[in-house]
Structure 1
Amino acid sequence: MFQRYDHPVERSHSLVDDTLYRSMFERSGLGIARLDPRRKVLEANADLLNFVGRSIHDVYSRDFVELIHPGVRPGLERQLERLAKDRKGRFAEQVAAVRPDGSTVPTTMTAIAVYGHDTSISALLVILRKENAERGEVKVDQGKVLSDVHARILEGMAAGESTTQLASRLFLSRQGVEYHLGTMLRKLRAPNRPALVSRAYAMGLLSIESWPPRVEPAFVK
């Protein structure tokens, strides 16, 4: 069941129908949380708490993005802000939930705007689906899986560099950068750049402890 504090204000201003909650909860493996428009966690189900390795007391009133890997937080913050202000409706993104011990859980996150009686956005519903082999999860062994140029491009993308900046720094053409990027997208089965960075963090290719981002040497040929 969903876990939340029995706060009288929260109970008197329920923002999502309980029937919807129960229906979604029955879909095994989905982590679900309700946030206020400022991204503070109001409720979370057991699957979501399991993904992030925390209790409801640890996540209640916490900024949801703090539970996601820091490598993808800036982009996720912008998307959630647009969702809360611009009525975008929903979006989906690949992110990695982070546990207190530093381990990560790769998930696909869907965020949905919830409207109140006055048609304003009253809450955000986030749904995390854990990736598995059937859905294209990439399992990486401890072998050398990236060339040096791929590692440098991945580090630059994780730091927010554009194709032009990467080309200039690595003495490549823009077409060369795009070629190597396409190779990595196919290799790691990622649909776009943000997903590639998120997956690289979740798979351990990018170190969780360093900034600027650095690919772990064990994965570089």
Structure 2
Amino acid sequence: MANLDLEFRILEANQSFARRFGWSPVPGTDRNFCEFLHPSVQGKLRNELIRLADGQSPRFADHMVAVGARDSVFVGEVTGIAVRTGAGRVDRILVLVDPDESAGDPQIVSARRKLFSPMHARILEGVAAGESTVQLATKLFLSRGGVEYHVSSLLRKMKVTNRPALISKSYSMGVFAVGQWPPRVRSEFIAE
């Protein structure tokens, strides 16, 4: 459990929260709660927190993927509650985190790990959008064999056997932002 200000900075937290996220109350080092969320859910949960801070909603409960201490990734439930003053204005936000201990180690990659070259990212986006090998070759100025070479490389890298499994695993790892079309590989996963 943690108390957040209206800009989602952690004001205080209980020992369980602090231990799970490796957070300590050091003066002058404000940590935003959204920093602890995996990129795949960061935007959605930030919007929920904004609705609480603006007084549009009294509470929310949602699925969460978070990056804890030592970059460990875990799943669970998060509940946000708007705490109001006596005058009815939202003063702070209470966040309850309930990790799913039965989930085991999720197959999610921390955004700090660069998985793809820019070319691999563009090919992965094309495959996710349903483009054929010929369409990708034309779009990326490659031969059909060049596209197949890169697709095979991606299959090996992601340890899957076909294109649908490649895309499915990419979504499950948070490589693509949920709810975005056409699919785009998140910049955090692309090597410069």
TM-score when normalising by structure 1:
0.51
Question: What runs of 5+ residues in structure 2 fail to find an aligned partner?
Answer: 108-158
Task: Report deviation, 1:125.
Answer: 0.2
Letter aligned with residue 92 of structure 1: A
- Quickly say closer, same or farther: Cα 1:139–1:115, change in 2 above 3 A: same
- What amino acid is aligned across from residue 89 of structure 1 in structure 2? P
The structural deviation recorded for 1:126 is 0.1
RMSD over aligned Cα atoms: 3.7
Work out the CA distance in 2 between the residues paired with 1:147 and 1:112. Answer: 43
The letter for the 2-side match of 1:210 is F
Residue 155 (structure 1) aligned to one of 167, 170, 188: 170
Q: In the aligned structure 2, how far is the partner of 1:99 from the partner of 1:75?
A: 19
Q: Distance in 2 between matches of 1:35 and 1:130?
A: 19
Which structure 1 segments of 5+ residues have no match?
1-31, 170-208, 213-221
Residue 44 of structure 2 corresponds to which residue in structure 1?
75
How many pairs align?
A: 139
* Aligned equivalents of 1:62, 1:154: Cα separation in 2: 31
The secondary structure found in structure 1 opposite 2:40 is helix
Q: Give CA-to-partner distance per residue, 1:37-72, whole Å, 9 cap, x none.
A: 111111100000111123222896321111222222
Match for residue 93 of structure 2 among 124, 133, 137: 124
| Greater C-alpha Rg | 2
Aligned residue number for residue 17 of structure 2: 48
* Alpha-carbon separation, structure 1, partners of 2:169 and 2:11: 35
Q: Is the 8 A contact 1:93 1:108 kept in 2?
A: yes
| C-alpha spacing 1:100/1:163, structure 2 compared with 1 (3 Å) | closer
The answer to whether structure 1 residue 65 and structure 2 residue 82 are counterparts is no
The alpha-carbon deviation at position 104 of structure 1 amounts to 1.5
- Counterpart CA distance in 2 for 1:87 and 1:44 is 25
Shift of 1:100: 4.8
Report SS of the residue matched to 1:56.
Answer: coil
Local SS of the residue matching 1:101: helix
Matches within 5 A, 1:210-221: 210-211=189-190
Point out the more displaced range, 123-132 or 71-80: 71-80
**Superposition TM-score, scaled by structure 2 size:** 0.58
| Residues 1:90 and 2:105 aligned together | no
For residues 99 and 161 of structure 2, the distance between their equivalents in structure 1, rounded to whole angstroms, comes to 25
**Secondary structure of 1:51's match?**
helix
